[in-house]
Structure 1
Amino acid sequence: MAPPPELMPELVEEILLRVPPDVPACLARAALVSKPWRCLLSDPAFRRRYRAFHRAPPLLGFIHGYFAASARKVPLFVPAVTPSPFPQRALRADFAGWCVLDCRHGRVLFGIPGEGLNLVVWDPTTGKRQGLPEPPVRRQAYNAAVLCAVRGCDHLDSHSGPFFVVLVGDGNGATGSHLYSSEAGAWNASADLGSISFAKRKPSALVGDDLYFVLAPGDIILKYNLGKNCLSIIHPPEAPGKHGDILLVPMEDGSLGLARLKCS
């Protein structure tokens, strides 16, 4: 029998465009079928169409710190897809003892224990690490967030672009914020609250140009505006009865949501 006719390249592209992104290995296997398929899948124009077609990127997993047998925190990547795109053994070995502070827009922010305040931004896709200069805050009472610095970016391919790190902590007798720009390579002047509070190591929330952190005592919410470089305070609503820690959640309508964790 004669071999079946080959699909036209336009049809192949339309079929591959509809491969679901929640299993990245499917596209990798498709690239091994033939040289034309590999050229198509590696074409930047196809990748742009693929991201636009599927819109929101899939959740590949999350990174958290757990206590190993040595009582040291070890970052662990928990995959939401199979197989995991990041090797577990390398992550544990290379980042043992590091503290996971934030993960956003394709980057992970770590704090490294030591005499000073050492922060490192890691791109898990490329493996690139970038250490930051030490900011003028106390290393025991701070929290930080990392985010893309490109306005209007869809954050589907932010790995090679500039980034910001916003740090909130106690320095010079007042709670203040500090902004690091990867383009400038330095921290800017701080915006102070004028009072002393302690930033909790809880995930921050980004809503528009505003970053939100949780302070102690009282679960006070600190709002930092990126454009104006200013701080403001929001008192959380009272919860009836006994409640747990407050958690900040970006809502789909562009507002800030609050959740409380009761009994893990």
Structure 2
Amino acid sequence: HPLEDDDLLREILLRLPPQPPYLLRASLVAKRWRHIATDPKFLRRFRVHHRKPPLLGDFSYEDGRLSFRSTLDLPYRIPPDHFPLQLQHHGREPWTLVDCRHGRVLLINSEMRQVIVWDPLTGDRSLLSPPPAFDDMHTAAVLCAAGEQGHAHGACHSSPFKVVVVDSCEHGDETVVFVSVYASETGVWSDLLSTTLASMGIAVGNRSTLVGKTLRWLLLMSNNILEFDMDRQTLAVIKRPPGVRSDDSAWIIQADDGGVGFSALSCPHCQ
């Protein structure tokens, strides 16, 4: 029988849809199927084959509570309380959910000067304290630091990660924006990188966008974008394209061709 050939069975299972229920149900057919479907080498091939993992849902943080909303259809929809995270804050300022990327969630609390990196699937969490210069963290970003060839982002639970924190301060009529990078492999924060803008009253938007190896943030109340090149370790400010709004209703996106694009909400339309 063809399915008695392990190599052929691997190729068949490899082509199942990437949503978790399909591979799970296949693993229940027989012990041999389960052995293949749970084999780490096969799972790496499965992730590389599909490249982009399926979206399970999204998180929001409101009224001091982190909420999860599943995007899967019934009967595979994940209950809202499936990913619990208890957060404590001792001051008036609540935690802020600032990023979710490569399977990890990132929250910051500027008053407590703390950063939480949380993996919802494994429950692992890391509590970090940024360098002393970050008195009032504007925002931060998290990303997988795995660099091996063929790594498919999304199932990065055992991979190292990096956290980029962003802050700014005013000197005279200028604004200095600076960043520092935490590497989980070393447990060390990098030296500060900074850049100066010849204007005041500028804030860094919460949402970061990763395109290639570069993180980008909109600079609110200005016509600029903050760019941080992770490979070159350079921080720069560039002009927004004409017509892109300078408030928080616009955000940077990755375009279909892999380049940088923009999306703006202008009720009742998104363009």
Determine if the TM-score, normalized by the shorter chain, exceeds 0.5. yes
Aligned with 1:206 (options 210, 223, 242): 210
Superposed displacement of residue 131, structure 1: 0.9
> Does residue 1:81 correspond to 2:72, yes or no?
yes
**What letter is aligned with 2:60?**
H
- Distance change (3 Å), C-alpha of 1:134 and 1:148: same
- Structure-to-structure mapping, 1:18-167, within 5 angstroms: 18-22=15-19, 24-65=20-61, 67=62, 72-82=63-73, 83-85=76-78, 87-89=79-81, 91=83, 94-95=86-87, 98-112=95-109, 115-135=111-131, 136-139=133-136, 142-151=138-147, 152=149, 153-167=151-165
- Secondary structure of residue in 2 paired with 1:52: helix
For 1:164 and 1:235, how far apart are their aligned partners in 2? 27
Deviation at 1:206, TM superposition (A): 1.0
Q: Which TM-score applies when normalising by structure 1?
A: 0.82
Kindly state the Cα deviation for residue 92 of structure 1 after the two structures are TM-superposed: 5.2
2:101 and 2:30 map into 1 onto residues whose CA distance is 35
Secondary structure, aligned partner of 2:18: coil
Residue 75 of structure 1, CA deviation: 2.1
Aligned pair count reads 250
Q: Supply the AA of the counterpart residue of 2:178.
A: G
Cα distance, 1:143 vs. partner?
1.0
Q: 1:187 to 1:243 in 2, by over 3 A?
A: closer
Amino acid at match of 1:105: H
Which stretches in structure 2 are left out of the alignment for 5+ residues? 89-93
Task: Answer whether contact 2:70 2:80 (CA < 8 A) is retained.
Answer: no
Structure 2 Cα separation of the partners of residues 172 and 240 of structure 1: 25
Q: 1:171 Cα deviation (Å)?
A: 4.8
The Cα shift of 1:93 comes to 5.7
More strand as a share of residues:
2
Q: Output one character per residue of 1:239-260: Cα deviation in whole Å (capped at 9) or x when no partner.
A: 2999872210012323211121
Structure 2 Cα separation of the partners of residues 172 and 29 of structure 1: 57
- How far 1:224 sits from its partner (Å)? 0.9
> Gaps spanning 5+ residues in structure 1: where?
none
Using the alignment, how far apart are the partners of 1:36 and 1:123 within structure 2?
A: 30
- 1:190 maps to which residue? 192
TM-score, structure 2 length as denominator?
Answer: 0.80
**For residues 32 and 50 of structure 1, what CA distance do their matches in structure 2 show?**
18
Question: 1:222 touches 1:234 (CA, 8 Å); kept in 2?
Answer: yes
Amino acid at match of 1:205: T
Q: Which moved more, 1:102-111 or 1:219-228?
A: 219-228
Match of 2:180 in 1: 178
Contact 2:220 2:248 in 1 (8 A): no
User: Is the 2:213–2:230 Cα contact (8 Å) retained in structure 1?
Assistant: yes
Report the Cα offset of residue 90 of structure 1: 5.0
- For the aligned residue pairs, the C-alpha RMSD in angstroms reads 2.8
